[in-house]
Structure 1
Protein backbone atom coordinates (compact mmCIF):
# COMPACT_ATOMS: atom_id res chain seq x y z
CA UNK A 1 0.00 0.00 0.00
CA UNK A 2 1.34 3.41 -0.94
CA UNK A 3 2.14 5.55 2.13
CA UNK A 4 2.91 8.77 0.29
CA UNK A 5 0.68 9.24 -2.77
CA UNK A 6 2.12 12.74 -3.40
CA UNK A 7 5.66 11.37 -3.77
CA UNK A 8 6.87 11.83 -7.34
CA UNK A 9 8.38 8.95 -9.25
CA UNK A 10 11.75 10.67 -9.56
CA UNK A 11 13.68 11.52 -6.38
CA UNK A 12 14.94 14.78 -7.94
CA UNK A 13 11.52 16.43 -8.26
CA UNK A 14 10.17 18.75 -5.52
CA UNK A 15 7.17 17.63 -3.46
CA UNK A 16 4.26 19.82 -2.34
CA UNK A 17 3.46 19.20 1.34
CA UNK A 18 0.90 20.63 3.77
CA UNK A 19 2.42 22.09 6.95
CA UNK A 20 0.80 23.30 10.16
CA UNK A 21 2.04 23.78 13.71
CA UNK A 22 0.40 21.23 15.98
CA UNK A 23 0.40 21.48 19.79
CA UNK A 24 1.65 18.60 21.91
CA UNK A 25 -0.98 16.61 23.82
CA UNK A 26 0.78 15.65 27.08
CA UNK A 27 1.77 19.15 28.26
CA UNK A 28 -1.89 20.19 28.12
CA UNK A 29 -3.06 17.13 30.07
CA UNK A 30 -0.30 17.30 32.68
CA UNK A 31 -0.77 21.03 33.22
CA UNK A 32 -4.50 20.48 33.70
CA UNK A 33 -3.84 17.68 36.20
CA UNK A 34 -1.35 19.70 38.24
CA UNK A 35 -3.48 22.84 38.31
CA UNK A 36 -6.58 20.82 39.17
CA UNK A 37 -4.77 19.02 42.00
CA UNK A 38 -3.51 22.33 43.42
CA UNK A 39 -6.97 23.88 43.29
CA UNK A 40 -8.46 20.76 44.87
CA UNK A 41 -5.86 20.79 47.66
CA UNK A 42 -6.65 24.44 48.38
CA UNK A 43 -10.37 23.68 48.47
CA UNK A 44 -9.79 20.76 50.83
CA UNK A 45 -7.54 22.80 53.10
CA UNK A 46 -9.78 25.87 53.27
CA UNK A 47 -13.06 23.98 53.50
CA UNK A 48 -15.17 23.50 56.59
CA UNK A 49 -13.67 20.80 58.87
CA UNK A 50 -15.70 17.64 59.33
CA UNK A 51 -15.98 15.26 62.26
CA UNK A 52 -16.07 12.27 59.89
CA UNK A 53 -12.94 13.00 57.82
CA UNK A 54 -9.47 14.32 58.55
CA UNK A 55 -8.11 17.38 56.80
CA UNK A 56 -5.60 15.17 54.96
CA UNK A 57 -8.26 12.90 53.54
CA UNK A 58 -10.35 15.90 52.45
CA UNK A 59 -7.32 17.42 50.73
CA UNK A 60 -6.57 14.11 48.98
CA UNK A 61 -10.17 13.64 47.85
CA UNK A 62 -10.54 17.13 46.42
CA UNK A 63 -7.07 17.03 44.85
CA UNK A 64 -7.86 13.77 43.00
CA UNK A 65 -11.33 14.90 41.96
CA UNK A 66 -10.13 18.26 40.67
CA UNK A 67 -7.10 16.65 38.97
CA UNK A 68 -9.52 14.50 36.98
CA UNK A 69 -11.50 17.57 35.99
CA UNK A 70 -8.24 19.34 35.09
CA UNK A 71 -7.23 16.46 32.82
CA UNK A 72 -10.56 16.72 31.01
CA UNK A 73 -10.28 20.50 30.64
CA UNK A 74 -6.66 20.23 29.47
CA UNK A 75 -7.65 17.68 26.81
CA UNK A 76 -10.53 19.92 25.72
CA UNK A 77 -8.17 22.90 25.45
CA UNK A 78 -5.81 20.75 23.34
CA UNK A 79 -8.61 19.78 20.94
CA UNK A 80 -9.76 23.39 20.53
CA UNK A 81 -6.24 24.73 19.95
CA UNK A 82 -5.44 21.88 17.55
CA UNK A 83 -8.56 22.65 15.49
CA UNK A 84 -7.70 26.36 15.35
CA UNK A 85 -4.08 25.75 14.31
CA UNK A 86 -5.01 23.10 11.73
CA UNK A 87 -7.02 25.71 9.84
CA UNK A 88 -3.82 27.66 9.30
CA UNK A 89 -2.32 25.00 7.04
CA UNK A 90 0.08 26.23 4.38
CA UNK A 91 1.51 24.54 1.32
CA UNK A 92 5.29 24.30 1.14
CA UNK A 93 7.59 22.97 -1.54
CA UNK A 94 9.97 20.27 -0.26
CA UNK A 95 13.06 19.73 -2.36
CA UNK A 96 14.97 16.46 -1.81
CA UNK A 97 18.66 16.75 -1.07
CA UNK A 98 21.18 15.28 -3.51
CA UNK A 99 22.44 12.67 -1.04
CA UNK A 100 19.02 11.76 0.40
CA UNK A 101 18.30 8.06 -0.15
CA UNK A 102 15.45 7.60 2.34
CA UNK A 103 12.73 7.86 -0.32
CA UNK A 104 14.47 5.13 -2.37
CA UNK A 105 14.70 2.84 0.66
CA UNK A 106 11.01 3.30 1.61
CA UNK A 107 9.62 2.51 -1.84
Structure 2
Protein backbone atom coordinates (compact mmCIF):
# COMPACT_ATOMS: atom_id res chain seq x y z
CA UNK A 1 0.00 0.00 0.00
CA UNK A 2 1.21 3.47 -0.86
CA UNK A 3 2.04 6.14 1.72
CA UNK A 4 -0.32 9.18 1.96
CA UNK A 5 2.62 11.47 1.06
CA UNK A 6 3.38 11.81 -2.62
CA UNK A 7 6.84 11.08 -3.99
CA UNK A 8 7.36 14.74 -4.92
CA UNK A 9 6.76 16.06 -1.38
CA UNK A 10 9.46 18.50 -0.16
CA UNK A 11 9.62 16.65 3.15
CA UNK A 12 10.82 13.49 1.41
CA UNK A 13 13.67 15.33 -0.33
CA UNK A 14 14.85 17.15 2.80
CA UNK A 15 14.07 20.62 1.46
CA UNK A 16 13.37 23.20 4.13
CA UNK A 17 10.32 25.44 3.73
CA UNK A 18 11.00 28.86 2.27
CA UNK A 19 10.56 31.96 4.46
CA UNK A 20 7.48 34.11 3.96
CA UNK A 21 7.54 37.88 4.31
CA UNK A 22 5.06 39.11 6.94
CA UNK A 23 4.14 42.48 8.44
CA UNK A 24 4.62 42.83 12.21
CA UNK A 25 2.82 45.68 13.97
CA UNK A 26 0.93 46.31 17.16
CA UNK A 27 -2.75 47.14 17.12
CA UNK A 28 -4.79 49.02 19.73
CA UNK A 29 -7.94 47.54 21.22
CA UNK A 30 -11.17 48.94 19.83
CA UNK A 31 -13.51 48.88 22.84
CA UNK A 32 -11.42 51.02 25.22
CA UNK A 33 -11.51 53.84 22.65
CA UNK A 34 -15.29 53.53 22.28
CA UNK A 35 -15.80 53.38 26.05
CA UNK A 36 -13.54 56.35 26.73
CA UNK A 37 -15.37 58.39 24.09
CA UNK A 38 -18.75 57.53 25.61
CA UNK A 39 -17.58 58.41 29.14
CA UNK A 40 -16.14 61.72 27.98
CA UNK A 41 -19.38 62.49 26.14
CA UNK A 42 -21.49 61.80 29.24
CA UNK A 43 -19.15 63.94 31.36
CA UNK A 44 -19.51 66.78 28.87
CA UNK A 45 -23.29 66.33 29.06
CA UNK A 46 -23.17 66.54 32.84
CA UNK A 47 -21.22 69.79 32.77
CA UNK A 48 -23.53 71.21 30.11
CA UNK A 49 -26.66 70.29 32.08
CA UNK A 50 -25.27 71.69 35.35
CA UNK A 51 -23.99 74.90 33.74
CA UNK A 52 -27.31 75.68 32.09
CA UNK A 53 -30.09 77.62 33.71
CA UNK A 54 -32.94 75.32 34.73
CA UNK A 55 -35.89 76.26 32.59
CA UNK A 56 -39.51 76.04 33.58
CA UNK A 57 -40.34 73.47 30.95
CA UNK A 58 -37.60 70.84 31.54
CA UNK A 59 -35.89 69.60 34.69
CA UNK A 60 -32.12 69.41 35.00
CA UNK A 61 -32.37 65.60 34.97
CA UNK A 62 -34.22 65.50 31.67
CA UNK A 63 -31.79 67.99 30.14
CA UNK A 64 -28.89 65.83 31.34
CA UNK A 65 -30.52 62.70 29.87
CA UNK A 66 -30.99 64.34 26.49
CA UNK A 67 -27.45 65.68 26.40
CA UNK A 68 -26.05 62.36 27.67
CA UNK A 69 -27.52 60.54 24.69
CA UNK A 70 -26.41 63.16 22.15
CA UNK A 71 -22.94 63.78 23.60
CA UNK A 72 -22.46 60.08 24.36
CA UNK A 73 -23.06 59.16 20.73
CA UNK A 74 -20.77 61.98 19.60
CA UNK A 75 -18.11 60.70 22.02
CA UNK A 76 -18.44 57.16 20.63
CA UNK A 77 -18.00 58.54 17.12
CA UNK A 78 -14.93 60.54 18.15
CA UNK A 79 -13.54 57.47 19.95
CA UNK A 80 -13.91 55.43 16.75
CA UNK A 81 -12.15 58.12 14.73
CA UNK A 82 -9.34 58.27 17.32
CA UNK A 83 -9.01 54.46 17.10
CA UNK A 84 -8.70 54.61 13.32
CA UNK A 85 -6.02 57.31 13.53
CA UNK A 86 -3.98 55.46 16.17
CA UNK A 87 -4.33 52.19 14.26
CA UNK A 88 -3.11 53.80 11.03
CA UNK A 89 -0.10 55.36 12.79
CA UNK A 90 0.87 52.07 14.45
CA UNK A 91 0.39 50.14 11.23
CA UNK A 92 2.64 52.60 9.40
CA UNK A 93 5.33 52.08 12.06
CA UNK A 94 5.14 48.31 11.54
CA UNK A 95 8.08 46.42 10.15
CA UNK A 96 8.63 43.57 7.75
CA UNK A 97 9.97 40.23 8.93
CA UNK A 98 10.58 36.80 7.49
CA UNK A 99 8.74 33.84 8.99
CA UNK A 100 9.53 30.20 8.33
CA UNK A 101 6.51 27.88 8.28
CA UNK A 102 6.73 24.97 10.71
CA UNK A 103 5.82 21.38 9.96
CA UNK A 104 2.64 20.11 11.55
CA UNK A 105 4.61 17.17 12.99
CA UNK A 106 7.07 19.46 14.82
CA UNK A 107 4.38 21.71 16.28
CA UNK A 108 2.70 18.95 18.31
CA UNK A 109 5.77 18.25 20.49
Structure 1 length-normalised TM: 0.74
> Which residue of 1 is the match for residue 31 of structure 2?
26
Deviations 1:50-106 (A, max 9, x none): 1000111011111111101101110111111111111112112334567315xxxxx
Over the aligned positions, Cα root-mean-square deviation in angstroms equals: 2.2
Hey, what's the Cα distance between the residues in 2 that align with 1:25 and 1:79?
9
Deviations 1:15-45 (A, max 9, x none): 3321111111111111000111111012112
Gaps of 5+ in 1: 1-8, 102-107
Which of 86, 91, 97 aligns to 1:92? It is 97
Q: Please tell me whether the aligned partners of residues 44 and 63 of structure 1 are also in contact (alpha carbons under 8 angstroms).
A: no
Q: Please tell me whether the aligned partners of residues 45 and 58 of structure 1 are also in contact (alpha carbons under 8 angstroms).
A: no
Count residues in correspondence.
93
Greater CA radius of gyration, 1 or 2? 2
Within 5 A, what are the aligned runs for 1:31-42?
Answer: 31-42=36-47
Moved more, 92-101 or 68-77: 92-101
Q: 3-state SS of the aligned residue for 1:17? A: strand
> Which residue of 1 is the match for residue 55 of structure 2?
50
Gaps of 5+ in 2: 1-9
Q: Please tell me whether the aligned partners of residues 19 and 92 of structure 1 are also in contact (alpha carbons under 8 angstroms).
A: yes
Q: 3-state SS of the aligned residue for 2:107? A: coil
Hey, what's the Cα distance between the residues in 1 that align with 2:94 and 2:102?
24
